[in-house]
Amino acid sequence: MATSKSGGLAGVVAGETAVATVGKEGVGLTYRGYSIDDLAEHATFEEVAYLLLYGEAPTRSQRDDFIADLKTLRGLPAGLKTVLEQIPGSAHPMDVLRTGCSALGTLEPEGPARDQLAVTHRLIAAFPSMLLYWYHFARDGKKIETESDDATTAGHFLRLLHQKEPEEKHRRMLDVSLILYAEHEYNASTFTARIITSTLSDFYSAITGAIGALRGPLHGGANEAAMEMIEKYASPEEAEADVMELLSNKAKIMGFGHRVYRICDPRSEIIQGWAKTLSASTGDTVLYAVSERVHAVMKREKNMFPNLDFYSASAYHFAGIPTGMFTPLFIMSRITGWAAHIFEQRANNRLIRPSADYTGPEPRAWTAVGQ
């Protein structure tokens, strides 16, 4: 039987999917046959969400009905608000969404009255509300209104965060970012969701587990870790000196490298363009220059390229988004890809249960230590 000699299941084909391709011939990303460049240029996040969930791009009326439904689902039940009010302000926002997702599963469980699509719509609509309800309550005791008439998830999020009309360039940057983060084949969190689904567990359990997998800095948490690194530097020169030092100590630079892409991450250039645009419009003279220098040093020293997380960090920062919300935004987008994989797993399920090569002691007799 085949085993992954290099560890981490690298290069192991663990199943089939009709949702996305990642790095075919070393480059490229497609969602249900559409290239990521095409989608980021011409689609909205809600259209991409529909494509992932229903398999085909929506007609205009299908899209409008989908958005109308999401808008009705942004309010939070009183029981969930009570749970969110108990979570301390020191909690990590990822833990808030992990808890919020699990709690909603007890209040509005999946079942005959609420199928998997209904739960998916609910979570797409409610994740921004959960995070920002907690944020404002924990920070200054304010119980914000979590419903808004904004037609986009990006605009709704920014409106709740800043409690004012979002700037159009920030809204579209976030909309594009949500498109880029929506789906990525058998990545660690999606595979987690599929494993949980394969036991015939419920939808909320699969998503709660996926959030746990996404939290780590080798996966979704890299955008937050990248921000923490680049904001330390006062100049590109300081950044270069420190990255050289980190590399000489064999440290990993967050936001670089990828398990599947070999040549580049096709999403990175798109979000880099937005980071550059927003840097210019906010009068930034340091952060973008620092990011470009880290990029150049990684290329020169390691021939490594930035993944989506690296320039997402500065793009989000320029839109006034707190660093702790970077990975939660990933959830607000990836819920669509996770859902598509859960549907696919359920439609052709078999328990996912691999084997391991045993490396422990030879069989031996137990000696009782006595009373």
Q: Which residues bind ligand COA (CB under 6 A)?
A: 8, 10, 218-219, 222, 252-259, 302, 307, 309
- Give backbone dihedrals phi and psi of 342, rounded to 5 degrees, phi first: -65, -45
Report d(CA 193, CA 196) in Å as an integer.
5
291 vs 307, beta carbon nearer ligand COA: 307
Distance of closest approach, residue 260 Cβ to ligand COA, in angstroms: 8
Query: Is 207 in contact with 101 (CB distance < 8 Å)?
Result: yes
Q: Is 309 a catalytic residue?
A: yes
- Judged by CB, which is closer to ligand COA: 114, or 252? 252
CB of 123 or CB of 253, closer to ligand COA:
253
> What's at 203, amino acid-wise?
F
Q: Which CB atom, from 132 or from 308, has the smaller least distance to ligand COA?
A: 308
Strand 29-31 to strand 34-35: parallel, antiparallel, or no bridges (unpaired)? antiparallel
Task: Give yes or no for a contact between 308 and 181, defined as CB atoms under 8 angstroms apart.
Answer: yes
In whole angstroms, how close is the CB of 371 to ligand COA at the nearest point?
49
Question: Closest separation between CB of residue 19 and ligand COA, Å?
Answer: 18
Catalytic residue of the set 92, 136, 162, 258? 258
- Minimum distance from residue 282 beta carbon to ligand COA (Å): 25
Handedness of CA 61, 63, 67, 73 (dihedral sign): positive
Q: How far is CA 130 from CA 49, 99, 192, in A?
A: 19, 10, 23
Cβ atoms of 270 and 174 within 8 Å: the answer is no
Residue with Cβ nearer ligand COA (76 or 193)? 193
The residues facing 165 across adjacent strands are none
Give min distance, CB of 255 to ligand COA, in A.
5
| Measured CA distances, 187 to 76, 123, 245, 341, 371 (Å) | 30, 20, 30, 11, 50
In whole angstroms, the minimum distance from the beta carbon of 256 to ligand COA comes to 4
Given 121, 156, 170, 219, the catalytic residue: 219
The catalytically annotated residue of 156, 265, 309, 317 is: 309
d(CA 159, CA 153) in angstroms, rounded, equals 10
In angstroms, what is the C-alpha Rg of the chain?
A: 22
Distance CA 316, CA 325 (A): 9
- Beta-carbon count within 10 A of 61 CB: 8
Based on CB atoms, which residue is closest to ligand COA, 9 or 73?
Answer: 9
| Cα dist from 352 to 47, 122, 336, whole Å | 31, 27, 22
Residue least distant from ligand COA (Cβ): 257
The answer to whether residue 121 is catalytic is no
Query: Which residues are marked as active site?
Result: 219, 258, 309
